[in-house]
Structure 1
Amino acid sequence: MKSLHTTAISTASATPRAPSTSFVVLKNQTVSQVLLKYLALEGVDTLFGVPGGAVMHLLDELMTQRDALHYVVCRQETGAAYIADGYARVSGKLGVVVVTSGPGATNALTGTMNAQNAGVSLLTITGEVGEQYFGMGYLQEGVDASLNIDAVYGNASGYSAVITNPSNFQALFAQALREALGVPHRAAHISLPDDQAGMPIASLDFPLKPQNYRATPSCTDAAGARRAFEQLAGVARPLIFLGSGAAEALRGPRLAAFAAMVDRLAIPVMTTPDAKGIFPESHPMSLRNFGTAFCEWTKYYMVPRLLDPAAREGFDSLLVLGTTLGGLATNKWDPILLPQGSLVQVDIDASVIGRVFPLDFGVVAEIGSVIDELVALADATQPDARVQERRAFIQRIKAGKSPWIAPEMREARQAPIPPQAAMKCISDLLPQGSHVFVDAGNSVGWSLHYLEIDPPSRLHNALAMGPMGFAVGAVIGAKFAAPDATCLAIVGDGAFLMHGSEVSTAAANGIGAIWVVLSDNDLAMVSQGMNAFFPSKTGQWRDYYALGKPDLARFAQALGANTFEVNDADAMQRALSGAIDAARTNKVPQVIVVHIDTTQIPPYYQDPGTPPPAPAP
């Protein structure tokens, strides 16, 4: 039997292989060369990071291929991951981070973790010492010593693996790409020991296109979509709640079809905070965003008695598309979201269906396919009398109630400028197709509540993890991906001090990104929050977290930016208009330091509107 087995193998190996339409045979390519071929296959032409000795073979190959692949040297590895995140969001491609071992890898961790929780396709490649040194305490070792980088990333991203031999590179690296570019998108990590990066692979069946090793789900559930539509069209007060999981589905022609559907049937639409602007906020059926810092219109529709004490209680049905219904999306799981009738949740990820609220039923499907089904069903449906009644009610809300808590502050011309007025300046001056990145802290509250945004412009934030400094870096990656678009970040002075050094990265690469820095010399979200939660110390928190009055304009100027300082709305309009023009024509980073009114508190402490008692019979 042994000799027969040997003979069979020998005969098979002698048989010429037929040409393949799915792969090509590569001979004696190094791991680094094959790695870059995979990235090129995915359309990646820009990588971000900070170089170091543990990635020297990969860096050498990047140097060899520098005409095709641009390795952007950033100022710090966390910033590099944020920049790659912004690049991925705007380009639709894979964001790639390349850093060295040890502290290089741990610095990049926060940005990788943030991408994982924001559903961004990110691949972080960290170098590692050569395998012959594992366990011996070599400088910056991250495997088999006191620091286990694979374990760290395995607990913070969607996938992590160590390349231990050229023979397992393809299986592990292709899996990282499947994880990162799957649905939902994830962050993935590869630890690449430097000696393995330089080793040749004797023979490799290399795919000719991404479809040869990964697939994108496009499943639908026509019956589920029909049931969901019946719950919308068959009641008096339906409501659609869009999450960031619907963002890709609502790009292009599908958005126009969806907008026409909800207008024809007068079905109002609201979004989660991280989906703000994926549906046009100027649309007659838009209630804008719910959740943290929610638009005031949302509560009047869900609790009609706030508008009319004689109205019947609540609304009838809620269709949730592409949100996990987390804390910020739901204003801490506010029961205001529970309809009188059906609640239907649609998501591609079955693990989030029904996780928070009890459902009438769930639909596991790709969001775009479900929207297509809904539109087709709506086209075959004749609007009934309830449609006009609902349309009139929504018009009554918008005519009688401001979407903003303090509309007078949004129009204010005083100095120092109220942050509300700063948001109006941005809304008024942003060109179509802009990308706005919002950082953590009070920037979130001001932006969510007081900005108006319509596609094709897009708002990007990181509300799952909320790291300070995310937008400071991400706006640079956005501008790399969309050099002709206006890319603007709204950040606090604390966040800008954390990662403002990346302005130098923008300057070095001719990137005309724009930063609007809300300057109050304080970590104001913390100090205002402490004041709210510990009122016995009212007044003591002011300046307790002061930042030392740094000169942010001179700091940014020293890093290569064109800078402005403004104190009122008129000055901000002039500065922002000039910055938008200069960023486009001069390709120089622009930093606008906005000295804001420190007495203003963002709408984090809104009353969502508990229904008043029912009228006496």
Structure 2
Amino acid sequence: MQQHPPQTEHGLDVADLLVAYLEQLGVRYVFGVPGGVIEPLYNAMARSSQRGGVRHVLARHETGAAFMADGYARDTMGLGVCCSTSGPGATNLLTGVASAYDNNIPLLVLTGQPALPTFGKHPLQESACTGVNILTMFQACTRYNSLLSHPAQLEPKLVSALQRALANPRGPVHLSLPSDVMRSKTGLSKPSFDLRRLLQQPDALDEAAIQDLRSILAKAANVVLLIGGGCTEAMQPILQFVEMTGAQIIATPDGKGLINPCHRQFRGVFGFAGHNLASATLRDPSVDVIIAVGTGMCEWDTDGWSDSLLNARMIHVEEIEEHFARTPMARLHIRGRILAIFKRLIEFTYSTPHLRSQQAHDAKSDGEHFRPLQATEAIIQSNLARYPRKYHLDQTPILPQRLMHDLGRLFPYGARFFADAGNSVAWAIHCLHPHDRRLRERRLQTERAGVGGRRKADAGWLRLTHSFAPMGWAIGAAIGAAMADRSQVVICISGDGSMLMNGQEVTVAVAERLNVVFVVLNDHALGMVKHAQRLRRAEQTAFALPVVDFAMQARAYGAQGITIRSPQDMARLDIEAICTRDGPTVLDVWIDTEEVPPIQGRIRVLESNDAPSCMN
């Protein structure tokens, strides 16, 4: 039986009450690096851990801690928590917090402060208003940001912060905690709020707009859905709508992992490193409605704001209202919870025979909605026309296209892929296509788990961070996801530049005995910088990296390290042993350094920005 936090006649202290709220929310891990002024929180977490509650995970750098909390939040579809001491500990968190802010990832960020009476006396690592003001720094990249100056403030400020973190737009929130306040007694024996009930999100709907959409769909002949990363919890009804109507489906880069690549109606990725078929589908004049769902319409999602998407055929469905400011040309804007909107659309589709296509009926007749493997391969080859035959070439050094093919083929159902900023994410978006994700297998797994055969609402098989795109994010995020769920292997696709920035976090996977496979695209360069300079005919400068043996480095860390130079080396891997290993593996893959990644859309945007401004 779980014990209660220790208390006196004056009740719980602030740190223990805070941790009790984390327990209430089901938070299992807090990622961070300790220090003197944050010690009361660590004491409270240690006590919680002893009774089976919240446990601290020691990162090697605070940026890595924030990335881990990000990955944990994505995998649990809940709250990630990270912490640091004051001063440089807090400033080290900033990059990871800013990335979460830009990608709408809910984090609770806790930083320490020296005791209140020392403010203004220049205590060690002071970061209050009289020192290096960390609150001012976090103001620009959090949804809520406050310093706790009295124990009675904990509950109202924590509740306000979590409401902002978990409401739309989601994002990180920050509480700065002076050490003496954390040790203060609250007078409470237990939390006053039931946060699970309080933080439940309502099924908000714009009924008038949904009625307008129904009228449009009733007259539509050819509908395309564009799904973004914001569709995570709604994929079951979205796919049901697609299967009922025969609508074609396209993904943004961060939406790719939400769709089975073998699905009959899937036409590939549109946007950064996207596919020819997806672009051609949107340009098809017979398409009369494009429903863009859960996408913020940033540069990556729109292929540099292409008018093949951003036109009057588009209907924008979103939970985050600020995203509508980027689509003034849309025929219709529908705000509300995407899950509720598509449940309502399914009800309408059932009552509208015109929308239930014969194609969808035929696909559903055997209970399946995926293409045969040969048809999937044909679609993939069509989308990889920029790289004819290279998806299968056996040459040495291994081509990145072939590496992505082998990663998708070799690793088992349920593997979660994280792709890092740089060439890694470009190759993964364009060329990574797992072949063995079948709806029948998913149904069998979920039925065995006792959830009635429903699709698990998770963050998908491919996860990435876009827009802010910090190097090394995937290394920490993969560790956070593995902490959240140890039942399936996690694969981090990263570059040698990112590993040199954040590779020390591999030792966290060693210490926690996590089954994470770190795939390092080793080309001895900052690859995206190098190839972008060449494509733009810029000066060739500041991209070269030393030749590093990451397999040897991994073994020094206590991980398994394997060097890959050819497809034959990939074929010799004992995947079953790697996927069941009690600890991480680093695959140091020496790729062909001259292969140009699919970044032409990004180059086009950069060159368009080089044009002289028309402003006076």
Q: Same fold (TM over 0.5)?
A: yes
**In 2, Cα distance between the equivalents of 1:62 and 1:396?**
49
Q: 2: CA distance between counterparts of 1:595 and 1:399? A: 28
Aligned match for 1:167, one of 140, 146, 152:
152
Q: Note if contact 1:512-1:589 (Cα within 8 Å) is conserved in structure 2.
A: yes
Q: What amino acid is the match of 1:463? A: H
Give the whole-Å Cα distance in 2 for the aligned partners of 1:534 and 1:399: 33
User: For residues 270 and 98 of structure 2, what CA distance do their matches in structure 1 show?
Assistant: 25
Where in structure 2 are the equivalents of 1:228-267 lying within 5 Å?
Answer: 228-250=213-235, 255=236, 257-267=237-247
Q: Determine if the alignment matches structure 1 residue 410 to structure 2 residue 391.
A: yes
Looking at structure 2, the residues matched to 344 and 49 of structure 1 have their Cα atoms a distance apart, in angstroms, of: 42
Cα distance, 1:58–1:443 mapped onto 2, change above 3 Å? same
Q: CA deviation at 1:129?
A: 0.7
> Could you tell me how far apart the structure 1 residues matched to 2:379 and 2:157 are?
57
For 1:180 and 1:447, how far apart are their aligned partners in 2?
29
CA distance in 2, matches of 1:212, 1:287: 40
Q: Is the CA contact (8 Å cut-off) linking 1:48 and 1:83 kept in structure 2?
A: yes
What is the TM-score with the length of structure 2 in the denominator?
A: 0.86
* Residues 316-355 of structure 1: CA deviation (Å, up to 9, x unaligned): 211111111111100110111145x532111122222242
Decide which of 319, 327, 335 is 1:364's aligned counterpart.
335
1:56-205 mapped onto 2 (5 Å cutoff): 56-67=39-50, 68-203=53-188
Please give the secondary structure, in 2, of the residue aligned with 1:436: strand
Query: Pick from 558, 561, 565: which aligns with 1:560?
Result: 558
**CA deviation string 1:575-608 (max 9, x = no partner):** 3x43x53342x31111001100111111111599
Greater than 6 Å deviation, 4+ residue runs: 384-389, 394-401
Aligned-pair identity (%):
30
1:498 is displaced (CA, Å) by 0.7
Partner secondary structure for residue 18 of structure 2:
helix
Q: Do 2:67 and 2:96's aligned partners in 1 also have CA atoms closer than 8 Å?
A: yes
Cα deviation, residue 60, structure 1: 1.7
Instruction: For 1:479-558, list aligned pairs within 5 A.
Output: 479-534=482-537, 537=539, 540-541=540-541, 544-558=542-556
Q: Residue 43 of structure 1 aligns with which residue?
A: 26
Cα distance, 1:185 vs structure 2? 2.0
CA displacement at 1:211 relative to structure 2: 4.2
Q: Classify the secondary structure of the residue corresponding to 2:82.
A: strand
The alpha-carbon deviation at position 207 of structure 1 amounts to 3.3
Q: What is the CA–CA distance in structure 2 between the aligned matches of 1:479 and 1:572, rounded to whole Å?
A: 23
Paired residue for 1:587?
582
Matched, 1:344 2:332: no
Deviation at 1:387, TM superposition (A): 6.9
CA displacement at 1:113 relative to structure 2: 1.2
| Bigger-Rg structure (1/2) | 1
The residue aligned with 1:569 is: 567
For 1:495 and 1:111, locate their aligned partners in 2 and report how far apart those are by CA, in whole Å: 14
| Preserved contact between residue 244 and residue 356 of structure 2 (Cα < 8 Å) | no
Asked whether the 8 Å contact 1:411–1:421 carries over to 2, the reply is yes
Matched, 1:286 2:269: no
CA drift at 1:59: 1.4
Q: Secondary structure at the match of 1:594?
A: strand
What is the CA-CA distance between 1:507 and the residue it aligns to?
0.7
CA contact (8 A) 2:11 2:188 kept: yes
Please state how far the C-alpha of 1:224 moved relative to its aligned partner. 2.3
Alignment equivalent of 1:440, drawn from 392, 399, 421: 421
Say if 1:202 and 1:297 are closer, same or farther in 2 by CA, change over 3 A.
same
Once residues 216 and 290 of structure 1 are traced to their aligned partners in structure 2, the CA distance between those partners, rounded to angstroms, is 30
Residue 251 of structure 2 corresponds to which residue in structure 1?
271
Residue of structure 1 in register with 2:403 after alignment: 422
For residue 385 of structure 1, report the CA deviation from its aligned partner: 11
Match of 1:321 among 289, 293, 302: 293
| 2:452 corresponds to | none
Query: Is the partner of 2:433 in helix, strand or coil?
Result: coil
In 1, the alpha carbon distance for the partners of 2:424 and 2:19 equals 38
**Contact 1:354 1:362 (C-alpha < 8 Å) held by counterparts:** no
Alpha-carbon separation, structure 2, partners of 1:231 and 1:565: 55
User: d(CA) in 2 for partners of 1:525 and 1:64?
Assistant: 46
Q: Who is 2:465 aligned against?
A: 462
Aligned residue for 1:353, secondary structure, equals: helix
* Residue-by-residue CA offset, 1:453-477 (whole Å, 9 max, x unaligned): 5587521111121000000111111
Where structure 1 has 5 or more consecutive residues not aligned to the other structure, the ranges are 1-24, 305-312, 610-617
1:295-327 CA distance string (max 9 Å, x none): 2211222234xxxxxxxx463211111111111
Question: What are the residue-to-residue correspondences of 1:381-392 with 2, within 5 Å?
Answer: 381-383=352-354
Give 3-state SS (helix, strand or coil) of 1:206's partner. Answer: coil
Gap regions ≥5 residues in structure 2: 1-7, 364-370, 443-455, 605-616
Q: What corresponds to 1:295 in structure 2?
A: 275
What secondary structure does 2:199 align onto?
A: coil
Secondary structure of the residue aligned to 1:592 is strand
CA contact (8 A) 2:349 2:356 kept: no
Counterpart Cα distance in 1 of 2:193 and 2:582: 37
| Helix, strand or coil at the partner of 2:191 | strand
- Decide which moves more: 394-403 or 94-103: 394-403
Distance across 2 between alignment mates of 1:135 and 1:430: 56
Q: Distance between the aligned counterparts of 1:385 and 1:488, measured in 2?
A: 39
How much does 1:203 deviate?
Answer: 4.0
Q: In structure 2, what is the Cα distance between the partners aligned to 1:317 and 1:431?
A: 37
Secondary structure in 1 matching 2:572: helix
2: distance between equivalents of 1:214 and 1:91?
16
RMSD value over aligned CA atoms? 2.7
| CA contact 1:222–1:370 (8 Å) conserved in 2 | no
What secondary structure is seen at the aligned counterpart in 2 of 1:127? strand
Instruction: Determine the C-alpha separation between the residues in 2 that align with 1:385 and 1:120.
Output: 36
| Separation of aligned partners in 1, 2:207 and 2:267 | 28
Per-residue CA deviation, residues 426-463 of structure 1 (Å, 9 max, x unaligned), is 11123222211110000111000001255875211111
Q: Any idea what the Cα deviations from partners look like across 1:242-285, whole Å, max 9, x if unmatched?
A: 111111222xxxx2x53343234221111111111212221111
Mapped contact 1:291–1:330 kept (Cα < 8 A): yes
Tell me the number of residue pairs that the alignment of Structure 1 and Structure 2 aligns: 561
The 2-side partners of 1:138 and 1:300 are apart by 62
**Is the CA contact (8 Å cut-off) linking 1:563 and 1:591 kept in structure 2?**
yes
How much has 1:399 moved relative to structure 2?
A: 6.5
**Structure-2 separation of matches of 1:413 and 1:57:** 57
Q: Tell me the residue number matched to 1:22.
A: none
Q: What per-residue deviation string (whole Å, max 9, x for no partner) do you get for residues 161-217 of structure 1?
A: 100011212111111111122233211111001111001012477335224543313
Distance 2:481 2:24 in 1: 21
Residue of structure 2 aligned with 1:221, choices 206, 211, 215: 206
2:597 to 583, 599, 602: 602
Kept in 2: contact 1:297–1:401 (CA 8 A): no
Contact 1:86 1:476 (C-alpha < 8 Å) held by counterparts: yes
In structure 2, the CA distance between the partners of 1:396 and 1:546, relative to structure 1 (3 Å rule), is closer
Deviations 1:379-412 (A, max 9, x none): 22224799769x99x9999679711121411111
Question: 2: CA distance between counterparts of 1:546 and 1:486?
Answer: 32
Q: Secondary structure at the match of 1:249?
A: helix
Shift of 1:117: 1.3
Aligned to 2:35: 52
**1:13-40 residue CA offsets vs partner (Å, 9 max, x unmatched):** xxxxxxxxxxxx9952100111011100
